[in-house]
Structure 1
Amino acid sequence: MTQSGYGNRQVSSWAFLVPFLLLFLAFLFVPMVYAFYSSLFINRMGQEVFVGFRNYLNAFQDAAFWGSVLNVIRYAVIQGVIMLVLSIALALLLDTRYARFKPFFRLVYFLPYAVPGVFASIMWGFLYSKPLDPLLQALHVDPLSSGALLYAIVNIATWEWAGYNMTLYIASLTGVSSEMYEAGVMDGCNEFQLAWYIKVPLLRPTIVMTIILSFIGSMQLFNEPFLLSALTPISQTFAPNLDIYSMAFGLTNLPYAATLSVILGAITIFISCVAMMVTRLIQGARSRRKHVALAVEV
């Protein structure tokens, strides 16, 4: 290939990245830079006064904000574990030889994802309302009570996202060669052994990706508690985004709200990067153990 041809291919490759880069700059990078810039000021008598990192020093001493961060991390762990286990189980069940009407059930499980989060929260809000739900009245259960509210929101998020993650897992399993499964069957594996020893290990990269995406989505929790607050008292510090929204539009303290937004974004990026690094270390350790085992066998 000539030098000019190689250069043209490079230009064409970069051209495909232009739409992504434009959207990235317009909707992520520029807003983050502006939020950081705004966080360096305070509003004093209608004027913006530069104070440097004073807002960040105040934020690190804000017990209410850090309490909301811990609460949403607890929510992320509970909801992430339940949703991912359910998604994997549904994907494995639909991937068996004995499953019938697979396209129908894939569509049924995926449909909740097509419902906008606002509509889903409103719908579940009516289902959680005891005056409107005879079943809750008969069971004397109140999902909107302070002790059950977190799990009520976990249920909404799981209902919305389990089918989406299930679709990702099914797509990953579809790309696996059928010869691998046939070899397992010839070795005497039943459906459970095929799932545990072959399918789940092959799903690990997709599982890692969904775990990170699930955590990022959980840290953005806002719609569900905000809409359910019309039915039951919910503290503005239930989730960081609620706290930021209240600070920006309730107290009109935009610089401090920008400060909390920057800190929340940094926490999300940091934990996501740590999760990816830990995953790579685990995968590298497993790969080294396999090489050592093969070397010993040889």
Structure 2
Amino acid sequence: MQAARTQSKTVSAAAFLAPFILLFVAFLLAPLVYAFYTSLFIERFGEPIFVGLRNYINAFQDGAFWSSVVNVIRYAILQGVIMIALSLILALVLDTKYARWKPLFRLVYFLPYAVPGVFASIMWGFLYSKPLDPLLQAVRFDPLSSAALLYSIINIATWEWAGYNMTLYAASLTGVSSDLYEAAIVDGCNEIQLAWHIKLPLLRPTILMTVILSFIGSMQLFNEPFLLSALTPISQTFTPNMDIYAMAFNLTNLPYAATLAVLLGAITIFISACVMIVARVVGRRSRERSTHLMSSEEVLSA
């Protein structure tokens, strides 16, 4: 009887997991395997020729690709820091007792996320265009110049995603017991101390998740610079995805494009794993330090 129940639970769990597993295999695992398989060939006169890892050797010597990787990592760091800091500030301000009309402001801040990225890029492209923007005509600043282009793209991405991350932080804060806040206020904490010493530590897992998701999204940067290239000259190797797109569809070199795609995926996974490891080490040391301080206080009080 017990064995039958265990088997029934196993079958039920498998049935619930089956849709996810099928989609995961069909749209993530299978394309990755096929991309790696394609990267092992070159095309000569329309015929595939097996060359092993030669494409990867060429990719490691491709200065344009690695320059685009460095460029997008710089974008990921700058955009991630600005966006997450802004999202945290908005969430913490709306979580204070002084905030009014909280549902309205949460909706207003979240609305840019509802705008598709392509439409957002087109809209901001019009705003960045000096012939179409009277304000830019009055000042001597061009957001689409080579010096300001990266920061203009950061502005678009922050406008799109800050409200989404703010919603995640606000949702995490709603799960915290109000008794914890009341105890801190009784001990003399003001709103700033409450946010710094209680809310931010409690948000650490959510912050880590948004940091990793933000980095993964940043490494896939494509829509914004690709659409803005219609308004200003942008190199086809500005980002790795633009380089891969040009290699696949402009130069029709699909094997090498697959090689670059596999390398980009490996770089993204490696850096994301490093961020998780560092965050866990820092979190463990922080907990050990807190435990040590509590133990020291107990000894002194005794």
TM-score range, shorter chain: over 0.9
Letter of the structure 1 residue corresponding to residue 61 of structure 2? Q
| Residue deviations 1:165-194 (CA, integer Å, cap 9, x gap) | 000000000000000011111111111111
Residue 154 of structure 2 is matched in structure 1 by 154
| Residue deviations 1:43-102 (CA, integer Å, cap 9, x gap) | 111111110000000000000000000000000000000000000000001111111111
Cα distance in 2, alignment partners of residues 10 and 43 from structure 1: 47
Residue 6 of structure 1 is matched in structure 2 by 6
Residue 47 of structure 1 is matched in structure 2 by 47
Query: TM-score, normalised on structure 2?
Result: 0.97
Cα distance in 2, alignment partners of residues 183 and 96 from structure 1: 15
Residue 108 of structure 2 is matched in structure 1 by 108
Instruction: List runs of 5+ in structure 1 lacking aligned partners.
Output: none
Deviates most, 172-181 or 11-20: 11-20
Cα distance in 1, alignment partners of residues 138 and 260 from structure 2: 43
Residue 188 of structure 1 is matched in structure 2 by 188
SS at match of 1:289: helix
| Residue deviations 1:115-139 (CA, integer Å, cap 9, x gap) | 0000000000000000000001111
Count matched residues: 298
1:280 shift after superposition: 1.1
Cα distance in 2, alignment partners of residues 19 and 156 from structure 1: 35
Residue 206 of structure 2 is matched in structure 1 by 206
Letter of the structure 2 residue corresponding to residue 231 of structure 1? L
Letter of the structure 2 residue corresponding to residue 115 of structure 1? V
1:3 shift after superposition: 2.7
Letter of the structure 1 residue corresponding to residue 251 of structure 2? L
Kindly report the root-mean-square deviation, in angstroms, between the aligned alpha carbons of the 2 structures: 1.1
Residue 117 of structure 1 is matched in structure 2 by 117
Instruction: List runs of 5+ in structure 2 lacking aligned partners.
Output: none
Letter of the structure 1 residue corresponding to residue 126 of structure 2? F
1:27 shift after superposition: 0.6
Residue 96 of structure 1 is matched in structure 2 by 96
Residue 163 of structure 2 is matched in structure 1 by 163
Deviates most, 283-292 or 226-235: 283-292
Cα distance in 2, alignment partners of residues 289 and 82 from structure 1: 29
Trace 1:189-268 onto structure 2 (pairs within 5 A). Answer: 189-268=189-268
SS at match of 2:234: coil
- Inter-CA distance 198–16: structure 2 relative to 1 (3 Å threshold): same
Deviates most, 92-101 or 13-22: 13-22
After superposing on structure 2, the runs of 4+ consecutive aligned residues of structure 1 that deviate more than 6 Å are none
1:249 shift after superposition: 0.4
Letter of the structure 1 residue corresponding to residue 242 of structure 2? L
Cα distance in 2, alignment partners of residues 167 and 219 from structure 1: 23
Cα distance in 1, alignment partners of residues 230 and 288 from structure 2: 55
Cα distance in 2, alignment partners of residues 100 and 22 from structure 1: 46
